[in-house]
Chains A and B, each alone.
Chain A
Amino acid sequence: MPLIGQLALALALIIAFYSIVANVIGARRGIPTLIVSARHAVWAVCAMVTVAMGALWTSLLQSDFSLEYVSSYTSFTLPTFYKVTALWGGQQGSLLLWTWLLTVFTAIVAFQNRRRNPEIAPYALAVLAGVAIFFLAMLNFVTRPFDMLSAIPAEGQDLNPLLQNYWMAIHPPSLYTGYVSASVPFAFGAAALITGRLDDSWIRSTRRWAIFSWFFLTLGNLFGARWAYEVLGWGGYWAWDPVENAAFMPWLVMTAYLHSIMIQERKDMLKVWNLALIGMAFGLTLFGTFLTRSGVISSVHSFTASGLGPYFLTFLLVVCVLYSGLLIARVKSLRTPAEFESYLSREAAFLFNNLVLVGIAFAVFWGTLFPVLSEAVRGVKITVGPPFFDKVNAPLALALIFLMGVGPLIAWRRSSLDNLRRTFTAPAILGIVAGLCAFLAGLHQWYVLSALSLAAFVLGTVVAEFRRGVSARRHMVSESAPKAVVNLIAKNNRRYGGYVIHVGVILAFVGIVASSFFRVEVKKSVKEGGSFYIGPYELVYLGLTTRETPHLESAIARVEVFRAGKPIAVMAPAKLFYKRPQQPATEVAIRSTPASDLYLVLAGIDDNTGMVTFQVFLTPLVFWLWAGGLIMALGTVIVMWPNVRERAAIAAAVRAPAALEFDAQTVPGGE
């Protein structure tokens, strides 16, 4: 198996080189057979990397410890599920997963564009192959997943216990899918710059890819936060750690990009900005990997820090220089006569939304790198932690939420004051009432009041917009209100899916604000039968049980929870001790309700006195962070759902002159 895997990776590298040459020469000289051959090469690269993936998975499942990777990240006793996920538990495996995703997406792009975009698709495929070559070179020469050990160990070193969690099974693949799929719009942007086809056909062709990338970046960040919440045992979910920041920045820039391309599609403006944004998003995905791999900044998530940093940094710089050079060279051709009439317009709101999103991304980038800068300039190592990011980003988040309410409802070109009054009066009143309610309820922090008011304002605008749409439908075609809502979304999925995403963002925002400001913590040591209180809950410690498997030992505490004297749940936090590697871990118990989460950690066991220490957090509304994230994902699915009308528009936009089309049926010796 290792030999097959290594051979497959070597072949993939060679064929990827060929696909670049064939695509570029085929496109430049107009040789259709070469283009078809290049397309086949792209599929062959995907097949080869799939073989390598299969080989590594087989070795992991067979516990083939002759392989260094398998012995480093698994053991005989590791459950099968985690043997599967160990593929991305280490550096070589996670790079292989990245490469595999890239080649799969490239293969899909090649298939999608076999009759479309004949001018730019070969160059886009060449760019994607170029990125794949970098990763394949790493896998072939620098960090090989199929390296063999001279002496086969009797047992493996096992997977890091922190990674033995189901969220870790889905968090890295989701994030990688988000990272890697951002390569597709980037490659088409680069191809548009290379070929000079600078209209918005590259955006239309890859818009769904950009949304797909955003969808997985959203899920990746959400799953990562949930993993931190359940595994790290500190009651929080986001610590502004460099690796978390690295995942957050591309999400912010992709969000800006998805809003900004609407202006280009609608008004043919911001061509340079959109190309710059997608370049930035792609660069940040590489930067994120550089941060994770280089160890240049200490991080709780750097499970696989290595010497790969310089390679990634060099590749990142090469990409930045080449892409910026292309962009600068084409600036004149990208300039279009822009029309702008008023600050009270949707394009203005979207531009300010872009400013704030990129501003937050810059603040995060700056804060993440500042320790390195400080050390270089002053020779003093400093920490830039949560207080910095919270203080800088909190006001920007409010501005963003405000624009989220205004942007989608304000008119293109210009809005009259009367129009603004009609659109925003009711949501504004709702916001003010919500703020007043919060104040009367005893919440006096200005940030909390502003956040709740703005959240209510945005929800009000969304409800008002649905209300208008439903009324219009019922006026035009008589149908019931529920049917009108369904048809409204189905016929305008892009628009109303976007509103659903906004609702998700608002719910997540409320969850974040509430959980950040009002989390309560109690730490208590009790004997069996002893009890203590947190908020409205009484917790009674019932006793300790132990359990042992070949893989780990665990001590599980049983705690009965009472509310108003009535038993409502029995919770079981545990302390785990993994046998290989010999490492303790914590398994928290969470009782989640829409109002608050009761989060119980078994912090310590004193065998001499029989005392057990619990750390308990009561976190209000954190449920809505996860629910909001899932609603965002649902909204994105609605946006991505195939829409016949839109497909026809894309087909019309990207259809090239017949003479330029070369598909398999017209190419001699083709498919």
Chain B
Amino acid sequence: MKPGKPLTLVAALLAISLGVAAVSLAASIAAKTSVQDVSEGLTCQCGCGLTVANCNHPQCEFAVPVRTRIEGMIANGMSRPQIIAWFRTQYGEKVLSAPTTEGFNLVAWIMPFAALIAGGLAIFFAFGSWRSKAAVAPVAVGAFDPELKRRLEQELRERI
């Protein structure tokens, strides 16, 4: 067997595994129910700290009736934003599981990306200044010292 063959085999196996994983995923796909989708946008008020979709109290006094109500609202033809808006008027902003994208709440969404852009710019300028200082060492083509080559091979044998 050639040296690289076992690893090529591993690579092939990995590719096949990913393919199988994809098929396995596809087989398990089920469109999220609308109740699930809507209730992920609401925070349970029982103190569990989870969304209404994920509240871990089977008999939760908040999540269970809310899910039933959402089901009814969907049956009455209400859309997700309409349902969420209704719950917001009932319980206030704290019932939403994420900040809105208006007013001061926009800061919540913008800040992480603003910080990232600022960091990126800092790196860009730092690179610029480092780059101008860096002297690119000339590479001597064809002039390879046999002694250096011997030492390099020796080093390789020890390190690899």
Interface residues of A (CB under 8 A from B): 232-236, 239, 241, 269, 298-300, 337-341, 343, 348, 351-352, 355-356, 358-359, 362-363, 366-367, 370, 374, 377-378, 380-388, 391-392, 396, 426, 430, 433-434, 437-438, 441-443, 448, 452, 455-456, 459-460, 463-464, 466-467, 469-477, 481-482, 484, 488, 491-492, 510, 514, 517-518, 520-521, 535-536, 586, 595-596, 601, 603-604, 613, 615, 618, 620-621
Contact = CB atoms under 8 A, between A and B. Distances in A.
Contact of A466 (B7, B25, B133): B7
Given A442-B26, A456-B15, A381 B6 contact: no
Given A300-B50, A443-B22, A476-B160, A366 B123 contact: no
A348 B127 contact: yes
Contact of B94 (A381, A448, A459, A620): A381
Contacts of B131: 340-341
Interface string B1-39: 101111110110011001101111111111000001000
B58 A604 contact: yes
A620 B55 contact: no
A518 B11 CA distance: 26
B136 interface: yes
A341 B59 CA distance: 62
Given A362-B112, A443-B22, A337 B49 contact: no
A391 B134 CA distance: 39
A359 B119 contact: yes
Contacts of B48: 300
22 contacts: A298-B47, A300-B48, A355-B116, A355-B123, A358-B119, A359-B116, A382-B94, A383-B98, A385-B43, A441-B22, A442-B26, A443-B22, A443-B26, A467-B8, A470-B4, A476-B153, A476-B160, A518-B28, A518-B30, A586-B58, A604-B58, A621-B21
Nearest to A536: B27
A608 B138 CA distance: 88
Given A387-B40, A387-B41, A492-B160, 5 more contacts: A234-B54, A339-B133, A382-B96, A438-B22, A472-B156
A236 B28 contact: no
Nearest to B93: A382
A452 B54 contact: no
A239 B153 CA distance: 53
Given A239-B50, A466-B7, A473-B160, A459 B14 contact: yes
Contacts of B54: 234-236, 239
Given A341-B131, A383-B43, A514-B21, A442 B15 contact: no
Contacts, number: 221
A132 B31 CA distance: 53
B149 interface: no
Interface string B106-132: 001101110110011001001100110
Contacts of A482: 6
Interface residues of B, number: 69
Nearest to B6: A481
Nearest to B135: A339
Contacts of A381: 92-94
Nearest to B159: A491
B43 A620 contact: no
A613 B58 contact: yes
Given A233-B56, A382-B93, A355 B41 contact: no
B28 to A, nearest CB: 5
A370 B130 contact: no
For chain A, what secondary structure do more than half of its interface residues adopt (helix, strand, loop), or is it mixed? helix
Considering residues B22, B47, B59, which has the most beta carbons from chain A within 10 angstroms of its beta carbon?
B22
B9 to A, nearest CB: 10
Nearest to B10: A463
B109 A514 contact: no
Contact of A392 (B28, B51, B97, B109): B109
B112 to A, nearest CB: 4
B105 interface: yes
Contacts of A367: 108, 112
B99 interface: yes
A351 B15 contact: no
Contact of A491 (B5, B41, B160): B160
Contacts of A615: 58
Given A340-B130, A355-B120, A481-B1, A620 B24 contact: yes
Contacts of B159: 491-492
B157 interface: yes
Considering residues A235, A239, A299, which has the most beta carbons from chain B within 10 angstroms of its beta carbon?
A239
Given A463-B10, A467-B8, A474-B3, A621 B25 contact: yes
A583 B130 CA distance: 62
B42 to A, nearest CB: 9
A378 B104 contact: yes
A603 B115 CA distance: 44
Contacts of A232: 56
A66 B100 CA distance: 51
A476 B157 contact: yes
Given A367-B108, A452-B18, A491-B159, A463 B7 contact: yes
Contacts of B127: 340, 343, 348
A78 B23 CA distance: 47
Contact of B18 (A437, A472, A601): A437
A467 B14 CA distance: 14
A380 B93 contact: yes
A475 B160 CA distance: 10
B142 to A, nearest CB: 18
Contact of A520 (B18, B28, B113, B120): B28
A299 B92 CA distance: 20
A153 to B, nearest CB: 27
B156 to A, nearest CB: 6
